[in-house]
Amino acid sequence: MVLIHHATLDGGDHGGENETCTALVLAEDQKKMLKELSRSRTAPACEIERAKILIGCADGISITGLQR
């Protein structure tokens, strides 16, 4: 289980194209585990996708960027 501390980056307008994810602060061991999971060939696809999303949010990638 990954525990994430978060803080909202945007001021409120949630309809813009540049909408950002909620900033995630991951411990190094959490990020390492998520990166390993994101490259897994045996984990369920939904877990791999979720790991990639969490890594992207932690790296400050916009929601639009994550959809690509």
Count CB-CB contacts under 10 A for residue 59. 14
What does the pLDDT profile of the chain (68 residues) look like in tens digits? 454 444 444 444 444 555 666 678 999 999 999 999 999 999 999 999 999 999 999 998 888 888 87
pTM above 0.75, yes or no: no
DSSP characters over 9-39: -S-S---STTPBPPEEE--HHHHHHHHHHHT
